[in-house]
Amino acid sequence: MTLAWARTACSHRALAGISRAHFGELLEELAPHGEAARESALRRRRGEDRRRAAGAGPKQRSVFVDRLLVTLVHLRLGLPHAGFSELYGVDRSTVSNAVREVRASLAVRGFVVPGPTAPASVSTR
């Protein structure tokens, strides 16, 4: 399987749950926020500003388009991250990180993103 095949399959309305036109609009809206959030996380991890110019260093294996597609399909169908890792040829943890990042971007936009519920507090009285 090639990456183009996986992207085409995941972008189908039956899997993603939205039309390709709506996906394009969503991508235009979320991509700047997603990239800014990623850069912010990298800065926190480094503890300082970049030492190299933007774009230098190791290239990211998954682009925002693919991360958004994987997240939409995962949220819609509940497919395991390991399945997506086989489709895209990346590690399962890469898929898990992508889903976590994009879910945060979707939540900021106002989407209700299902997730693990917080345990109810137990009263000891």
The domains of the chain are located at: 3-48+61-109
Assigned token pair, 69: 């597609």
Q: What is the per-residue pLDDT across 59-106, written as a single tens digit (0 to 9) for each?
A: 666 688 888 999 999 988 888 999 998 888 889 998 998 898 888 888
Q: What is the per-residue pLDDT across 14-51, written as a single tens digit (0 to 9) for each?
A: 888 889 898 888 888 888 877 777 777 777 877 877 77
Does residue 101 come out as left (phi exceeding 0), alpha (psi in the -120 to 50 range) or beta? Answer: alpha
Q: What is the per-residue pLDDT across 7-21, written as a single tens digit (0 to 9) for each?
A: 888 888 888 888 989
Provide the pLDDT confidence category of residue 123 given band limits of 50, 70 and 90: very low
